[in-house]
Amino acid sequence: MAEEFERFKRFEYRQNSNLVLQRDTSTGVAPAVHLGEPTGEPESLAGRKLYPMGDKVERGLKKEDRPVKNDSKRAKLKRNKLDLKRGATVLDADVTEIFFYKPTTQQTRLVYEQLLVTLQQQLGDQPDEVLKGAADEVLAALKADGCRESEKKKNVEQVLGPVNSDVFTRLHQLAKNITDYSLGGEEEDGAQAG
């Protein structure tokens, strides 16, 4: 019983009243402000230089602190991947095959946009490069001379997967309405030369 009374007595107001910080009546501010400690009250950030979050984060060792031999090993691996000893570089990649059709008139641009929408419905959400590449493949298959309808449909299905006859008919009509398309970009090269 005496223990309970002592435990209760520790929390009496008289015992703890001297521990509460009193507001300074002359200045009207809490004593923590004088000590440079935060008070918990919201403060304005105006006039302070703020950095975007994560700008000053550094993970791992700094570049100066890394061992030099790891850099040389990394460089050797990179050189081996590129086959620099044999003269192969990134610039040796054949980029001449990359050709995206670019409409030259307003009418063909509208038809090309409809073609891209139809391809997006077939392929789902894909990056623009994928859709344009698929459009080039479909246009090449549908504009090929000397091919029957069944061969054209088979070539389109190789690009898009299974296609029903309504979608194939729509693609075929759109390809017919694109009049400025040429295989391999010969027309575009001629336009640049002239």
Over residues 136-146, the pLDDT tens digits come to: 888 888 888 77
Cβ-based neighbour number of residue 70 at 10 Å: 9
pLDDT at residue 143, as a whole number: 82
Asked if residue 80 lies in contact with residue 86, where contact means CB atoms within 8 angstroms, the answer is no
Please write the tens of the pLDDT for every residue from 141-186. Answer: 888 877 888 888 888 888 888 888 888 889 888 888 888 877 654 4
Rounded mean pLDDT of 5-16?
80
Long-range contacts (CB closer than 8 Å, 24 or more residues apart) made by 127-136: 129/100, 132/100, 132/101, 133/100, 134/159, 134/160, 135/101, 136/99, 136/100, 136/101
| CB count in 10 Å sphere of residue 188 | 15
